[in-house]
């Protein structure tokens, strides 16, 4: 694939970073890989690459993602007939939100039977793929083969093969609450007074995300917005409260329930993601559990 038309060294460096990350890169990824770039140089180079048609631009979780144009996909349809090219272009324009077969048919004016054949041909070449929508089980949308579906299509971290992972969400809910409760317990008797203690008991979604990531209980990468969703459910359930800081960011803290939970409910086993692997012998045992030790000490 050719690089920037003017062989600009900055553009060349950014393209090399993009080649190593076929799923796309953000401004942060570029600056981490090429730290000598200034913000102004980055903006100028990205705009140039977009104008030259070397990058596709997507919005992923509120961040801009740059992805190299699918040259292999274009090559696969280069010698195809006009109908395949028309369908490919419509699917490419839809990005990672995909396009419904009915919309393809209306915009391409291709008969049902022929359109089905064209789609099957493109799928067999691994140029496009069909993705089921979580909000409509019988509805499939088509997008380019190398694209990651938008969260509105895949459902994000809470869905696996269109099924809502209620058990996974429940574990995350409990672990997020546990983190907030631990934070609150640490500063309960703050010598600086209750006002300072209350302020320090708040935690940001980023802090909670790091805690969950360090636990290693999730097989998928949880974004900050995923953790915010969980934290908001704790607020709705009356187990936590949120506050907005002066910079507009939100923080969360655990609050005391009107009715204290019985002792058995507080046993850490109830929220432990490794409970099924725990036994009297082996690597994971109650005797070596630091969470059990902490609970017994309290």
If asked whether residues 29 and 85 sit together in one domain, one would say no
276 and 248 within one domain? no
Q: pLDDT digits over 115-124, tens only?
A: 999 999 888 8
Instruction: Name 57's bridge partners.
Output: 66
Strand partners, 254: 240
Residues 250 and 192 in one domain: yes
**CB neighbours of 174 closer than 8 A, spacing ≥ 6?**
270, 271
How many angstroms separate the CA atoms of 73 and 122, rounded?
A: 9
DSSP per-residue letters across the chain = ----TT--HHHHHHHHHHHH-TT-B-HHHHHHHSTT--HHHHHHHHHHHHHTT-EEEEEETTEEEEEE--HHHHHHHHTS-HHHHHHHHHHHHHGGG-EEHHHHHHHHT--HHHHHHHHHHHHHTTSEEEEEETTEEEEEEEEETTPPPPHHHH-GGGEETTEE-HHHHHHHHHHHHHHHHHHHHHTTT-TT-HHHHHHHT-EEHHHHHHHHHHHT--SSPPPHHHHHHHHHHHHHTTSEEEEE-TTS-EEEEE---SSPPPHHHHSGGGG-TTGGG--SSSSS-GGG-HHHHHHHH-
Q: Residues 135, 223: one domain?
A: no
Residues 64 and 79 in one domain: no
* One domain for residues 251 and 212: yes
pLDDT at 104 (0 to 100):
92
Q: What is the CATH number of the domain that holds 124?
A: 1.10.10.10
The answer as to whether 122 is a domain residue is yes
Same domain, 254 and 164: yes
Task: Tell me what pLDDT residue 74 has.
Answer: 56
29 in any annotated domain: yes
Q: Which tokens in the block code for residue 105?
A: 């048919």
Sign of CA pseudo-dihedral 140, 143, 146, 147: negative
Q: Could you list the residue range(s) of the whole structural domain that residue 187 is in?
A: 160-260
The pair of structure tokens assigned to 5 is: 């038309």
Asked if residue 244 and residue 193 are part of one domain, the reply reads yes
Q: Is residue 184 within 8 Å of residue 253, measured between CB atoms?
A: yes
Query: Of 120, 154, 188, which marks where a domain is finished?
Result: 154
Residue 4 is assigned to a structural domain of this protein: no
Is 164 found in the same domain as 253? Answer: yes
Which one of 154, 186, 218 terminates a domain?
A: 154
Q: Over its length of 298 residues, how does the chain's per-residue pLDDT go in tens digits? A: 444 344 578 888 888 888 877 778 888 888 888 888 888 888 888 888 887 777 777 766 667 888 877 544 555 566 567 888 889 888 888 888 889 999 999 998 889 999 999 999 888 888 889 888 766 666 789 988 877 777 767 666 666 655 656 777 888 888 899 999 888 887 766 655 555 556 778 889 999 989 888 888 776 777 888 888 889 888 888 888 888 888 888 899 888 765 555 554 456 665 565 666 677 777 777 777 776 776 666 5
Q: Is residue 108 part of a domain?
A: yes
Q: Do 191 and 170 have their domain in common? A: yes
**123, 138, 154: which is the final residue of a domain?**
154
- Specify the number of domains making up the chain: 4
Please give the C-alpha separations between residue 6 and each of 3, 41, 187, in angstroms, as whole numbers.
8, 15, 59
Within a domain: 1: no
pLDDT given for residue 197 in this prediction: 56
Residue 3 falls within a domain, yes or no?
A: no
Same domain? 144 vs 111: yes
Answer yes or no: is 265 within a domain: no
In a domain, 140, yes or no: yes
Do 100 and 76 belong to one domain?
yes
């Amino acid at each position: 694939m050719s690089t920037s038309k003017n062989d600009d060294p900055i553009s060349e460096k950014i393209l090399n970073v993009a080649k190593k990350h076929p799923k796309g890169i953000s401004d942060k990824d570029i600056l981490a890989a090429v730290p000598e770039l200034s913000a102004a140089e980055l903006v100028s180079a990205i705009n140039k690459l977009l104008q030259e048609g070397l990058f596709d631009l997507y919005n992923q979780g509120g961040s801009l993602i740059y992805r190299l144009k699918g040259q292999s996909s274009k090559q696969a349809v280069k010698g195809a007939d006009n109908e395949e090219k028309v369908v490919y272009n419509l699917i490419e324009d839809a990005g990672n939100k995909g396009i419904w077969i009915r919309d393809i048919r209306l915009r391409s004016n291709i008969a049902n039977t022929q359109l089905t054949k064209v789609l099957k041909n493109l799928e067999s070449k691994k140029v496009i793929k069909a993705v089921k929508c979580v909000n409509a089980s019988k509805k499939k949308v088509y997008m380019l083969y190398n694209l990651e579906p938008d969260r509105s299509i895949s459902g994000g971290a809470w869905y696996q093969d269109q099924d809502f992972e209620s058990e996974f969400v429940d574990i995350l809910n409990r672990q997020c609450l546990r983190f907030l409760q631990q934070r609150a317990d640490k500063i309960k008797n703050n010598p600086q007074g209750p006002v300072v203690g209350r302020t320090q008991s708040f935690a940001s979604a980023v802090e909670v995300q790091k805690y969950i990531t360090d636990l290693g209980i999730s097989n998928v990468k949880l974004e900050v917005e995923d953790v915010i969703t969980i934290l908001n459910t704790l607020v709705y359930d009356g187990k936590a409260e949120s506050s907005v800081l002066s910079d507009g960011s939100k923080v969360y803290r655990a609050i005391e329930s009107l009715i204290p939970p019985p002792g058995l409910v507080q046993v850490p086993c109830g929220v432990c993601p490794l409970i099924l692997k725990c036994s009297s012998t082996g690597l994971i045992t109650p005797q070596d559990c630091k969470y059990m030790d902490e609970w017994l000490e309290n």
